[in-house]
Amino acid sequence: MNPGKVFLIGAGPGDPGLITVRGLELLSRADAVLYDALAHPALLDACPNAEKRNVGKRYGQDSATQTAINAELVALAREGKRVVRLKGGDPLLFARGAEELQALHEAGIEFEIVPGVSSPLAASAYSGIPLTHRELSSSVTFITGSDREGKDWSPASWQKLATATDTICIFMGMRWIEEIMQAIISGGRSAETQVAVVQWAARPEQRVVCGTLRSIPGIVRAEGITNPAVIIVGEVVALRDQLRWFDNRPLFGKSLLVPRPAEQGRVTAAAIRARGASARLLPAIEIRDPTDPAPLARAIGELRSFEWVLFTSANGVTRFTRALRAAGLDARAFAKAKIGAIGPKTATELESFGLSADVVAEEFVGEGLARAVLAQGVPKRVLLARAQVARDALPELLRRAGAQVDVVPVYETVAADAGEALRADFEAGKIDVALFTSSSTVNAVVDTLGARAVEYLSRITVASIGPITSNTLRERGVHVDVVASTFTVDGLLDALESHFLAKR
């Protein structure tokens, strides 16, 4: 058996988008992943087929010992596996990465180190507090607030550090914050020196509190700030009011319900995180093969006879091209047929199969796609690949113009069984906004919530991707607060930002 290899990868802090390109590439090819508590869970979506083990260590909680983690890494590598050790922040900065590498070295296991964005750098950037500044700070020191196990805490090193550096960055210092701040004061630093504490840096849960060496312990205790947090001591803290950009955005800290199929939900969640909000993924609908596969198989067999092939969703493209591959065909099967897409997302999905849409509707609804097709003349025969249950406006407009339209279901949407979890989130006030991107998600969520659906949804902001979805919401008795003017997820998030900005 060929020996395996261990990749020690820094996951970066908070936002999963901060992992390096190299780290993400290796993660996607891993056979086994041992991950920390501070690595964002969304990163595990990149390795769906890998064995995953949570080996995070948190103070005061039952967790894996370092010796056990070392042994697991060695054992998995000896099985010939590609093993990723995923650590929050940077793996060699106060992260015990070196200890794990020493164990691998002693066992004769090959390894590679992939650095990551460290938590103080993220805390600095995402709080708007630079660690250095030409006029305020020419030096910065990183130090841990957690002493080695079995070693008594001592103020001596903190007193020496107090005036030896301009900016002090303290990792995991919340347990001893009173003692640390007092020791820095005793070392000669002014009690009025500015201090910031950044909890959960680069996440929608990020919290920043500011004070002085004298006042900050009381402030963080009153606010309930705990680890993971970074303490920044120095005059650079004063720049936060000017440089703050992340936690003052319209959607920052809000929890958005995303009732979409799992794969689409992950893409939407990434767009939401990019705006400082958190996504509560709820696969309220599942995408399945059509009840009767015969019409799809027949349409693929007759594909060369169609003048136009129309797609009204990315799901339709995915399911149709999957069936095409299963039949041993590729993009050449479309022959001279023109292709129409209802919107840019659908067109992008077509491109992944090597197809370019001849027309993309300017209005991302069935009527818009019908108008775009008819603008190029009345086609003789059209294939419409869509969901099993959908509006008939598109085929009716084409037929009325004289076209023959074959409507072929390529997938169906069914409600997922998520009622208990969804109702619990509403009862606990964990949802601020519900994003509805189709009529099927509306019906699935309302049906899942049951008799109290309208009541639950009246407590939050309801956002709709467009007029068709809005009409469905109203038909189900739900008030619509925000409607996108551009019928895409990004357009919907833009509309939400404008909505919350107007309310400030």
Alpha carbons within 13 A on the beta-carbon side of 11: 26
Q: How far apart are CA 465 and CA 180, in angstroms?
A: 51
Catalytic residues: 36, 57
Sort strands 404-415 and 285-288 into parallel, antiparallel or unpaired: antiparallel
- Measured CA to CA, the distance from residue 143 to residue 183 in angstroms comes to 14
Give Cα 184 distance to the centre of its chain: 39
Let me know the angle formed at the C-alpha of 219 by 214 and 224, rounded to the nearest 5 degrees.
145
Of 290, 298, 356, residue with least CA distance to 327: 298
**Alpha helical stretches, state H, 52-207:** 66-78, 97-107, 119-127, 156-161, 177-186
Kindly tell me the burial class for residue 134, based on how many C-beta atoms sit within 10 Å of its own C-beta (0-12, 13-18, 19 or more): exposed
Q: How far apart, in Å, are the Cα atoms of 446 and each of 10, 278, 286, 474?
A: 41, 22, 15, 11
In this structure, the number of other CB atoms found within 10 A of the CB of residue 294 comes to 9
Give the strand order in the sheet containing 51-54: 51-54, 32-35, 82-88, 5-12, 110-114
Lookup result for tokens 């799809």: 296
| Cα 479–Cα 482–Cα 486 angle in degrees, nearest 5 | 135
Looking from the CA of 84 toward its CB, the CA atoms found within 13 Å total: 32
* Gap between the Cα atoms of 318 and 398, Å rounded: 24
β-strand partners of 53: 34
CA distance 107 to 5: 12
Q: Where are the alpha helices (DSSP H) in 162-225?
A: 177-186, 216-223
* DSSP conformational letter for 172: S
- List helix spans (H) across 18-151: 21-28, 66-78, 97-107, 119-127
SS3 210: strand
Residue found under tokens 């009381």: 218
Q: Which residues contact 427 (CB under 8 A, 6 or more apart)?
A: none
Question: CA 219: distance to chain centroid?
Answer: 31
Q: Which two tokens stand for residue 81?
A: 């596996």
